[in-house]
C-alpha cells in the first residue's frame, strides 16, 4: 500500500535509537540532522518540526534534549524510528517500536546480509517481525530518508538538499550524498531522497509507486545495483512511467553472466542486458554516467517533453555552438532547418553578420535584449521543437541581465529550453536559471544530453503499438506440435537438440527455412543434394558439437556429387581433430542461400525470465556484438524498437546492393519465436542463426535449441551423457 510509506516522509514524531555524544558516530549525525536540518546547522527551527526523541541506554542529554534510556521510556507515540545501534540489538528495538505504535523503521546499522548467512537470517527475522507488528522497514545498511519539504533529514549525510521536483531513490547511500552536494551547488532540488541499502522490506517498486502519487515529485532518479523482484519492478516501472518520468543508472552492467552459456544469445546476455531491456520496455531513460543521470533528472523534472527532435542552438560563441551541434547526433537530436520566415524575423533583431543558420550565432557582443528577441522568435517557430542556449562571458557580456532576459523570453513557451553558461559553474549567475526551472550546465555537451532526454521522453509518450503484418509464404504456427517436439528432445537425453529436430521445432513455430534434407552417410547426402539442386551446404549433425563452424562442421559452395562426398570426408576429419571421439550422427544438406545474416535468440535471465535478442548474425556475432534485447512479454512495438537499435542499419537497408530488410517481417518472426518460448518453458536457450535477408524475404538456415533435461531440470553441458 502506498499510504504505508507516508510515515517515512511525513511523520508526526521521530525517535533516534543510538543517539550519541561522539561527533564521529552515526547516531550523533542522525540526531543533529533531525534537530537542525544538517550537520552544520544550529537553528532548531530549520530541523524537523515535530518532536524528535533521542534514545541512548546511558541516558543524559544531547543538544539540550533529553536522551531516553529506551523507546518505551519516551511515553508518547512515535511514527518513525531511526536505528543506529549494533545489529544484535536491533530486533529488541523493533519489538519496542511496535509496542509504541510506530509505523516506520529505518535501520541505518550495517552488519546484516553483507556479513553472510548468519547476517541474512537476522535480517529476515527483523523484516518478518516488523511486518507482523504492522511496520515497514527501510534498510538495513542505508543512509536514511530525507524529505526537504517536511524538514525531515533522517540520515547521517553531511547536508540537506533544497526542496524540488526530483525523487531520488538509491541503493547506494554515497550516491545520495553526492547528489545532495551537487544539488546544493547547482541550486536544483529534491522532493525526497531514499537510501534503500539491503532492502529487507521496502523495495524499489514500493518507493517508485509512492513517488508517482507524490505531487511534489516531477521526475524520479533511480540508482540500482540489483533488484529483489526484477519482474515485479518491470511491471511497476511500466505503470509509473506513464505519468512520471524515470531516469535509471545501473551499477554492475559489465559483470559476467551468472551461468556458462552454450548459445550466442546466452553468451551475449551479460548482467546488464536484461536491465537494459527492462528499462527500454518500461520507458525508463537509461543513463550510462552519473553526469547524464543528474542532467536528465533535472531536465525532466522542470521542462516539458520535446514534441520532436528538431533543435535550435543559440550561442554567442562559434566554437561551443559547433561542439553542441556535433553532440546532437549522439543523443537522437537533429539541427532544425530554419524556415525563411524565421530567418527573416531574426534578420530584424540580429546584426547583419549573424550566422543565418542553425546554430544561431548572435555574435560575441550579444546584449540581454538580443538574446531575448532571438529566443522569442525561435520559441514561436513551428520547425523547432526545443532550444539550447549557450553563453560565454565576453568583456561586454551581462550574465545577470541575460539570465533575466532568458526567463522573460520563455514565459510564453511550451517548448523545452536548456542552457549552458560556460565558465559560470557554481556561481549565483550560473545557478539562477536552475532556481527558476531552466536546467543550466557548464558544458554544452551536457546541455545537449539533457535535451536528448526530453526528446526521448516525448517520443515515448507518443509511442503506439504497430499494426500486425501478414507473413506470406510462411508456414502457420503450430505451438502444440512445437511443445510436443520439445518434449521429444528432452526425452532424448541431450540438452543440445540435433539440427534436424531444432529445425522441426522452429518450423512448427512458423519459421520459414531453406530446402534441406538429412543423410546418414555420403551416398544419402549426394541423393539429397541432387534433389535440392546445387550449390548446397553440407553440415555436421552431432549432439556433441554446439558450434559447428568452430569444429569445421560446415562446408559451403558444394557443387556436384564428388564435392559432396569430399565435404562429408572433410567434416569427419575436422571434427575428429577438434574433439576426438565426438559422435557424428550424419549430415544435413541444405539449399545454399546468400544474403545479409542476422540472428534471433533467447536466453533466460534468472530474475527477469525470457530475454529475446536480435542483431547482426553469422559466425562473428560475438565479435561484433551488434545486438539488442527485450524481455517477454513483448509487443510488436518492442520488436520494431529493438530492430531499430541495431547499429548496422545501412546493411539492413540494402547497402552495396544487398537485399533490403522488411522490418515488419522480422518483427513478426520475432513475435513467433516469443510465442514459442512462452508456450515451451522447457526451452532454456535458442539461436536462429543465421536468418538470411534475401530478395524473397527472410530465410532461416541454421538453429540451435537447448532444453532442460527431465531428470535434472537444469541445463546440462552440451554433449554430456544423459543420467
Specify the higher pLDDT residue, 408 or 722. Answer: 408
Residues 6 or more apart from 470 whose CB is under 8 A from it? none
Cα torsion angle, 351, 354, 356, 359, sign = negative
pLDDT at 715 over 50: no
Stretch 45-73: mean pLDDT, rounded? 95
Q: What is the pTM of this model?
A: 0.89
CA 337 to chain centre: 32
Compute φ and ψ for 199, nearest 5 degrees: 55, 55
Q: Answer for the pair 105, 78: CB distance below 8 angstroms, yes or no.
A: no
Q: Answer for the pair 347, 304: CB distance below 8 angstroms, yes or no.
A: no
Residue with cell 540520515: 155
Residues 6 or more apart from 391 whose CB is under 8 A from it? 315, 316, 366, 371, 397, 399, 402, 419, 420, 421, 422
Stretch 500-507: mean pLDDT, rounded? 94
Q: Does the domain at residues 2-217 carry the CATH identifier 2.40.50.140?
A: no
| Same fold for the pair 2-217 and 308-457 | yes
Tell me the C-alpha distance between 547 and 264, whole Å: 9
pLDDT at 714: 42
Stretch 492-504: mean pLDDT, rounded? 90
Tell me the C-alpha distance between 336 and 171, whole Å: 40
Q: Answer for the pair 145, 215: CB distance below 8 angstroms, yes or no.
A: no
If one counts every other C-beta atom within 10 angstroms of the C-beta of residue 257, the result is 18
Q: Is 120 helix (H, G, I), strand (E, B) or coil?
A: helix
Gyration radius of the chain over CA positions: 31
Stretch 316-336: mean pLDDT, rounded? 95
DSSP 716: P
Return mean pLDDT, the chain. Answer: 92
pLDDT in tens, 620-656: 788 888 999 999 999 999 999 999 999 999 999 999 8
Residues 6 or more apart from 601 whose CB is under 8 A from it? 263, 264, 265, 268, 612, 613, 614, 685, 686, 687, 688, 689
Tell me the C-alpha distance between 303 and 299, whole Å: 6
Ranked by mean pLDDT, the top range of 72-76, 145-149, 621-625 is: 145-149
pLDDT at 662 over 70: yes
Q: Answer for the pair 104, 3: CB distance below 8 angstroms, yes or no.
A: no
Q: Which of 175, 115, 166, 177 is nearest to 140 (CA)?
A: 115
Tell me the C-alpha distance between 455 and 328, whole Å: 11
Stretch 29-49: mean pLDDT, rounded? 94
DSSP 547: -
pLDDT at 674: 98
Q: Answer for the pair 441, 412: CB distance below 8 angstroms, yes or no.
A: no
Report CA-CA distances (Å) from 97 to 81, 100, 101. Answer: 7, 5, 6
CA 96 to chain centre: 40
pLDDT at 712 over 60: no
How are beta strands 536-541 and 516-519 bridged, if at all?
unpaired
pLDDT at 618: 86
Alpha-helical runs (H) found in 626-718: 636-644, 649-652, 663-679
pLDDT in tens, 246-260: 999 998 876 544 344
DSSP 396-414: T--HHHHHHHHHHHHTT--
Residues 6 or more apart from 275 whose CB is under 8 A from it? 224, 250, 253, 286
pLDDT at 622: 82
CA 496 to chain centre: 32
Strands, E, within 65-149: which ranges? 65-68, 80-83, 104-107, 136-138, 144-147
How are beta strands 609-616 and 627-631 bridged, if at all?
antiparallel
Tell me the C-alpha distance between 438 and 441, whole Å: 10
Report CA-CA distances (Å) from 482 to 503, 633, 700. Answer: 10, 19, 17
pLDDT at 270 over 80: no
SS3 track for 204-251? HHHHHHHHHCCCCCCEEEEEECCCCCHHHHHHHHHHHHCCCCEEEEEC
Residue with cell 536559471: 433
CATH superfamily, domain 515-592, is ATP-grasp fold, A domain (3.30.1490.20)
Tell me the C-alpha distance between 445 and 298, whole Å: 15
Lowest mean pLDDT segment, chosen from 63-67, 267-271, 320-324, 617-621: 267-271
Residue with cell 510436443: 484
pLDDT at 255: 52
Tell me the C-alpha distance between 579 and 567, whole Å: 18
Report CA-CA distances (Å) from 498 to 322, 533, 540, 621, 702. Answer: 57, 24, 10, 21, 11
* Helix%, strand%, coil% for the chain, nearest 5: 40, 20, 40
CATH class entry, domain 308-457:
alpha beta
Specify the higher pLDDT residue, 430 or 548. Answer: 548
Residues 6 or more apart from 240 whose CB is under 8 A from it? 208, 209, 211, 212, 220, 246
pLDDT at 264 over 70: no
Stretch 165-182: mean pLDDT, rounded? 95
Q: Answer for the pair 497, 694: CB distance below 8 angstroms, yes or no.
A: no
pLDDT at 718: 40
pLDDT at 707 over 70: yes
pLDDT band at 185 (very low <50, low <70, confident <90, very high): confident
Tell me the C-alpha distance between 191 and 705, whole Å: 49
CA 299 to chain centre: 18
Q: Write down the domain spans for the chain.
A: 2-217, 308-457, 515-592
Q: Which of 55, 76, 66, 69 is nearest to 11 (CA)?
A: 76
Amino acid at each position: 500500500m502506498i499510504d504505508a510509506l507516508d510515515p517515512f516522509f511525513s511523520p508526526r514524531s521521530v525517535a533516534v535509537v543510538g543517539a550519541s555524544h561522539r561527533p564521529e558516530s552515526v547516531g550523533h549525525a542522525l540526531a543533529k540532522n533531525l534537530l537542525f536540518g544538517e550537520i552544520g546547522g544550529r537553528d532548531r527551527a530549520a530541523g524537523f518540526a515535530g518532536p524528535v526523541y533521542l534514545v541512548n541506554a546511558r541516558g543524559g542529554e544531547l543538544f539540550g534534549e533529553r536522551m531516553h534510556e529506551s523507546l518505551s521510556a519516551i511515553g508518547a507515540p512515535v511514527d518513525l524510528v531511526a536505528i543506529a545501534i549494533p545489529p544484535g540489538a536491533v530486533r529488541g528495538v523493533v519489538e519496542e517500536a511496535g509496542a509504541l505504535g510506530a509505523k516506520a523503521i529505518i535501520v541505518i546499522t550495517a552488519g546484516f546480509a553483507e556479513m553472510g548467512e548468519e547476517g541474512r537470517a537476522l535480517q529476515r527475522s527483523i523484516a518478518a517481525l516488523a511486518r507482523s507488528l504492522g511496520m515497514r522497514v527501510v534498510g538495513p545498511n542505508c543512509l536514511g530518508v530525507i524529505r526537504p519539504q517536511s524538514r525531515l533529514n533522517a540520515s547521517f549525510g553531511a547536508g540537506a538538499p533544497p526542496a524540488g521536483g526530483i525523487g531520488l531513490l538509491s541503493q547506494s547511500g554515497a550516491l545520495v550524498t553526492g547528489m545532495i552536494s551537487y544539488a546544493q551547488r547547482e541550486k536544483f532540488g529534491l522532493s525526497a531522497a531514499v537510501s534503500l541499502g539491503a532492502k529487507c522490506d521496502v523495495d524499489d517498486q514500493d518507493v517508485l509507486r509512492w513517488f508517482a502519487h507524490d505531487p511534489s515529485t516531477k521526475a524520479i532518479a533511480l540508482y540500482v545495483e540489483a533488484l529483489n523482484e526484477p519482474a515485479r519492478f518491470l511491471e511497476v516501472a511500466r505503470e509509473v512511467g506513464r505519468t512520471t518520468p524515470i531516469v535509471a543508472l545501473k551499477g554492475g552492467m559489465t559483470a559476467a553472466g551468472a551461468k556458462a552459456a552454450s548459445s550466442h544469445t546466452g553468451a551475449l546476455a551479460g548482467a546488464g542486458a536484461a536491465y537494459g531491456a527492462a528499462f527500454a520496455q518500461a520507458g525508463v531513460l537509461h543513463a550510462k554516467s552519473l553526469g547524464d543521470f543528474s542532467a536528465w533528472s533535472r531536465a525532466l523534472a522542470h521542462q516539458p517533453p520535446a514534441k520532436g527532435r528538431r533543435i535550435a542552438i543559440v550561442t554567442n560563441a562559434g566554437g561551443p555552438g559547433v561542439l553542441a551541434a556535433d553532440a546532437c547526433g549522439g543523443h537522437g537530436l537533429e539541427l532544425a532547418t530554419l524556415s525563411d520566415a524565421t530567418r527573416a524575423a531574426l534578420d530584424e533583431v540580429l546584426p547583419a553578420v549573424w550566422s543565418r543558420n542553425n546554430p544561431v550565432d548572435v555574435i560575441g557582443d550579444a546584449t540581454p535584449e538580443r538574446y531575448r528577441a532571438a529566443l522569442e522568435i525561435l520559441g514561436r517557430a513551428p520547425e523547432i521543437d526545443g532550444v539550447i542556449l549557450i553563453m560565454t562571458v565576453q568583456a561586454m557580456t551581462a550574465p545577470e541581465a541575460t539570465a533575466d532576459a532568458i526567463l522573460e523570453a520563455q514565459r510564453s513557451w511550451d517548448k523545452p529550453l536548456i542552457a549552458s553558461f560556460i565558465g559560470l559553474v557554481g556561481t549565483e549567475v550560473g545557478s539562477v536559471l536552475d532556481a527558476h526551472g531552466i536546467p543550466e550546465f557548464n558544458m554544452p555537451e551536457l546541455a545537449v544530453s539533457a535535451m536528448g532526454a526530453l526528446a526521448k521522453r516525448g517520443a515515448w509518450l507518443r509511442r503506439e503499438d504497430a499494426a500486425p503484418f501478414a507473413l506470406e509464404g510462411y508456414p502457420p504456427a503450430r505451438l502444440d506440435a512445437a511443445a510436443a517436439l520439445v518434449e521429444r528432445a528432452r526425452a532424448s537425453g541431450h540438452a543440445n537438440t540435433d539440427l534436424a529436430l531444432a529445425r522441426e521445432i522452429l518450423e512448427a513455430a512458423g519459421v520459414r527455412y531453406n530446402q534441406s534434407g538429412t543423410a546418414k552417410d555420403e551416398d544419402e547426402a549426394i541423393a539429397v543434394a541432387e534433389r535440392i539442386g546445387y550449390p548446397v551446404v553440407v553440415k555436421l549433425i552431432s549432439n556433441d558439437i554446439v558450434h559447428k563452424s568452430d569444429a569445421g562442421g560446415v562446408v559451403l559452395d558444394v557443387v556436384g556429387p564428388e564435392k559432396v562426398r569430399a565435404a562429408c570426408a572433410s567434416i569427419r576429419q575436422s571434427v575428429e581433430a577438434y574433439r576426438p571421439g565426438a559422435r557424428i550422427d550424419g549430415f544435413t544438406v541444405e539449399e545454399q542461400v546468400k544474403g545479409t545474416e542476422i540472428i534471433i535468440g533467447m536466453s533466460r535471465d534468472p530474475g527477469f525470465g525470457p530475454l529475446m535478442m536480435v542483431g547482426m548474425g553469422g559466425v562473428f556475432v560475438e565479435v561484433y556484438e551488434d545486438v539488442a534485447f527485450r524481455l517477454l512479454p513483448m509487443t510488436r512495438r518492442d520488436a520494431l524498437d529493438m530492430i531499430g537499435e541495431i547499429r548496422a542499419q545501412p546493411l539492413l537497408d540494402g547497402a552495396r546492393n544487398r537485399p533490403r530488410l522488411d522490418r515488419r517481417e522480422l518483427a513478426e518472426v520475432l513475435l513467433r519465436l516469443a510465442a514459442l518460448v512462452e508456450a515451451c518453458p522447457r526451452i532454456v536457450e535458442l539461436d536462429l542463426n543465421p536468418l538470411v535477408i534475401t530478395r524473397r524475404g527472410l530465410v532461416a538456415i541454421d538453429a540451435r535449441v537447448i532444453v532442460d533435461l527431465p531428470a535434472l531440470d537444469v541445463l546440462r553441458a552440451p554433449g554430456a551423457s544423459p543420467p
